[in-house]
Amino acid sequence: MGSDAPQDRLTGLPTRAALDELDRGFRRRPAGEPWSALVIDVDDFKMINDVFGHLAGDRILQQVAYLLVRNVRQTDEAIRFGGDEFVVILRGTGKLQAANLAARFLEDVQRESFQGGVRVGVSLGLAESAEEDRALSSVLDKADRALYDSKARGKGKIAFFQDRSDREADLSFDHFVNRQAELKELRTALDEVLEKGCRAVLVTGEPGVGKTRLVTELRHYCAFRGCAFAEAKYDEVGGAEPFGLVLEPFRALVETLPEADREAVASSCGPVLPETAGLFPSLGLVQREGPLPPEWARGRVFYGDVAAVMRALTGRVPVTLLVDDLQWAHLQDLDLLGYIARSAGPMRLLIVMTARSPVEDYREAWSWLGVLRRFVPLVRIDLRPLDEEHAANMVMLALRDPQMPQEVLETITRQSGGNPYYIRELLKSLRRGGALEGGADRDYRLGSEKLPDGIAQLVRSRLDLLDPESREVLRMGALMPGSFGIDTVSFLLGIPRLRAARALDEPLRMGLVHEEVSPSGEPVCRFNHDCVRSCLLEELSASSLKALYSRLGRHYEWRWGKGEENLLAQVAYCYCESHEAEKAAEFALLAAEEAKARRAAFDQAAWLERFVRFAGASGKADTERLFEAWLELGDL
Ligand SMILES: Nc1ncnc2c1ncn2[C@@H]1O[C@H](COP(=O)(O)OP(=O)(O)O)[C@@H](O)[C@H]1O
Ligand SMILES: [Mg+2]
């Protein structure tokens, strides 16, 4: 930027006037070159100003600006847009790299200790230019809309712009319908925690019935009672780190604590193992002196350490920990959580779990629950589908039409069985098919449409709307649990990344998947509900599944061989799924060794078991190693 661009006095950044020159550059960009815009907004800045004063507010803006400048490259332009809003224009840059910058910046903000110990969060909206974008302002506009989405989904997040220009878009699902009795039970549990100590609530129900939605509604009450809300989210293949899914939320929580609280937590903890200190770097915990406990006792000492940190932490701030989709939780994580709860006593910790029913089918989680309830009072809420009246309310609210014809309402509620996810998808599908037009001359024609019989069929009918390539790309994405990267699908289909990304546009628009930023800063896609993923997987025959996992296994193995991190478990997972005994045994053993190195006993045992199974099947096993594995398994 030329030195003649006016600068903002507070932050030293160029002001929005700089956008004019950037716009000229944008209009001259070569065909096919994408630019990206990032819009950043400081969460609750008004409140910070009111509570801590304008001087503190100004200082915080300077700090944010500094962190921003630290992360942008030479060719990027960081601008103070006005108030607490910043903009970064990334010349000749697609959203992939832009997301990377955004993720690093967000991380820096989370790590920074701000003036006066104020907790500061930022929300980010990101958009990439399309070929048809003439002016930079249209890209900014998209980024701004993404920012709006990101705030709506909860602060402190990055959202991508998603084009929702089609008709499904004006359906509204923001209202939380009914569930007052269940919400009250949750609130009561929190009240009890504040008075008497640790409690647990288990919410069960069929997929799509609204478990996740119900428990996230508790956030508001938590904020009201001064209780922090931390979330552990599980996929079928958990995170790479041991205990990460339990500890990660606590770690994030610790980072947002004011300095004084952090010091108080640290001082009431006593000396800990180096690994515990390493888990909570921002606490600056004192490490044990003298010889460390022997190897065999170390695991328990570690558990004790973590429990002590939790006790100190919840002594300062009460915490609600949400464990969503318990059925997929790692046993080792549950083991640690159980230990914390057991030593909890009067700890102000509310553990809220959701699980798919029948939860009894998930044997490990179920027996763990049996143990947990011996130490912690546990309430179970079994969520039923919405009754007719409330289902009808949800439909009317979604269409913003209180005067829907009764028979149309009845058809939809009957068909959906009151399952909110079903209602949602059904409305989208009908709206798309033109059967539920909005506007002045409302047009509700249901007669000619044959309504689908179940969620699976409904989802399939939505998938039928996709062009074959989009569907194929989604199907490949369904292979890996959790989120999937464009790299993976473009590899599996042998098509260029750009084409794979294009093929994802339509599923994104339809809300079948949404974009997220992976921890390494790449955009990845996640199915908006597991129902979609399981439908897609069913479309693949057993033999093609095996073949695909085999190719994917080789692909990950190759990347792992080049030194890419955190891929070992994925390689092993793929080879186990492809039933290639020899490869599966080899990598299961490596994964077991890696798990051992990070003291993840449950992971280690799980991989060793697979090793034993596949090594036996391959018939080529080194009998000595096999025998050793048996012994190790016995010890674990
Ligand atoms: N009480 C409710 N009011 C409005 N929408 C709801 C309600 N419960 C669930 N939904 C919506 O239905 C969909 C499925 O809910 P979700 O909580 O993901 O189900 P589950 O976790 O049980 O599989 C979500 O889009 C959610 O927002
Ligand atoms: Mg859920």
For range 317-328, the mean pLDDT: 90
Task: Say what the pLDDT of residue 451 is.
Answer: 61
pLDDT at 498 over 80: yes
543-602 tens-digit pLDDT: 999 999 999 999 999 999 998 877 888 899 899 999 999 999 999 999 999 888 877 777
* Alpha carbon distance 605, 330 (integer Å): 12
Do 618 and 587 form a contact (C-beta atoms < 8 A)? no
**Chain position carrying tokens 């799924």:** 577
Give residue 445's pLDDT band: very low, low, confident or very high (50, 70, 90): low
Query: Which of 129-133, 190-194, 443-447, 479-483 is least confident?
Result: 443-447
For range 313-322, the mean pLDDT: 94
Which-ligand-closest: CA of 422? 1
CA atoms within 13 A on the CB side of 391: 26
Residue 437 β-bridge partners = 443
Ligand 1 pocket member 421 (CB < 6 A): yes
Task: Say what the pLDDT of residue 219 is.
Answer: 87
Q: What is the mean pLDDT of the chain?
A: 86
Residue 511 β-bridge partners = none
For range 402-420, the mean pLDDT: 85
Residue located nearest, by CA, to atom 9 of ligand 1: 210
Task: Say what the pLDDT of residue 25 is.
Answer: 94
Q: Would strands 228-233 and 158-160 be described as parallel, antiparallel, or unpaired?
A: unpaired
The amino acid occupying position 104 is: R
Do 21 and 10 form a contact (C-beta atoms < 8 A)? no
Give the residue ranges of DSSP H helices in 18-86: 19-27, 45-52, 54-71
DSSP secondary structure, 466-488, as one string? S-HHHHHHHHHHTTSSSEEEHHH
- How many CB atoms within 10 Å of residue 562? 8
Q: Pick the atom of ligand 1 nearest to 178's CA.
A: 1
Residue 48 CB partners (closer than 8 Å, separation 6+)? 42, 56, 57, 60, 118, 120
- Tell how far the Cα of 358 is from the centroid of ligand 2, in angstroms: 14
Ligand 1 pocket member 394 (CB < 6 A): yes
Task: Say what the pLDDT of residue 470 is.
Answer: 95
Task: Say what the pLDDT of residue 467 is.
Answer: 92
Ligand 1 pocket member 422 (CB < 6 A): no
Task: Say what the pLDDT of residue 586 is.
Answer: 93
Q: Tokens standing for 25? A: 């550059």
Long-range contacts, 617-621 (Cβ 8 Å, 24+): 617/581, 617/585, 618/581, 618/582, 618/585, 619/581, 620/582, 621/585
pLDDT at 404 over 50: yes
- Tell how far the Cα of 205 is from the centroid of ligand 2, in angstroms: 10
Q: Pick the atom of ligand 1 nearest to 176's CA.
A: 3
Query: Which of 52-56, 108-112, 171-175 is least confident?
Result: 171-175
- Tell how far the Cα of 324 is from the centroid of ligand 2, in angstroms: 7
pLDDT at 517 over 70: yes
**Chain position carrying tokens 């309504």:** 451
Task: Say what the pLDDT of residue 557 is.
Answer: 94
Ligand 1 pocket member 356 (CB < 6 A): no
Task: Say what the pLDDT of residue 2 is.
Answer: 47
Which-ligand-closest: CA of 178? 1
Ligand 1 pocket member 176 (CB < 6 A): yes
- How many CB atoms within 10 Å of residue 368? 18
For range 156-180, the mean pLDDT: 76
Residue located nearest, by CA, to atom 16 of ligand 1: 210
Angle at 615 between CA 610 and CA 620, to 5 degrees: 170
- Tell how far the Cα of 382 is from the centroid of ligand 2, in angstroms: 14
pLDDT at 238 over 50: no
* Alpha carbon distance 441, 545 (integer Å): 49
Q: How far is CA 593 from the centre of its chain?
A: 28
Rounded to the nearest 5 percent, the helix, strand and coil shares of the chain are 55, 15, 30
Task: Say what the pLDDT of residue 464 is.
Answer: 87
Ligand 1 pocket member 209 (CB < 6 A): yes
For range 268-283, the mean pLDDT: 89
Give residue 234's pLDDT band: very low, low, confident or very high (50, 70, 90): low
Ligand 1 pocket member 173 (CB < 6 A): yes
Choose which residue among 394, 395, 421, 529 to substitute to test ligand 1 binding: the one with the highest number of ligand atoms within 8 A of its C-beta: 421
Q: To 10 degrees, what angle do helices 542-561 and 486-493 make? A: 120
Task: Say what the pLDDT of residue 179 is.
Answer: 94
Q: Would strands 319-324 and 349-356 be described as parallel, antiparallel, or unpaired?
A: parallel
Strand blocks (E) in 339-468? 349-356, 378-382, 436-437, 443-444
pLDDT at 472 over 80: yes
pLDDT at 424 over 50: yes
Ligand 1 pocket member 395 (CB < 6 A): no
Ligand 1 pocket member 212 (CB < 6 A): yes
Which-ligand-closest: CA of 529? 1
- For residue 372, give Cα distances in angstroms to 193, 274, 341, 424: 16, 28, 8, 35
Q: Pick the atom of ligand 1 nearest to 325's CA.
A: 21
Do 280 and 243 form a contact (C-beta atoms < 8 A)? no
Do 559 and 592 form a contact (C-beta atoms < 8 A)? no
| 3-state DSSP assignment of residue 619 | coil
Task: Say what the pLDDT of residue 198 is.
Answer: 93
| 3-state DSSP assignment of residue 201 | strand
pLDDT > 90 fraction of the chain, expressed in percent and rounded: 42
Give residue 169's pLDDT band: very low, low, confident or very high (50, 70, 90): low
Q: Tokens standing for 617? A: 């099947």
Do 347 and 254 form a contact (C-beta atoms < 8 A)? no
* Alpha carbon distance 311, 268 (integer Å): 9
- Tell how far the Cα of 323 is from the centroid of ligand 2, in angstroms: 10
pLDDT > 70 fraction of the chain, expressed in percent and rounded: 92
Task: Say what the pLDDT of residue 44 is.
Answer: 85
pLDDT at 23 over 70: yes
Task: Say what the pLDDT of residue 449 is.
Answer: 53
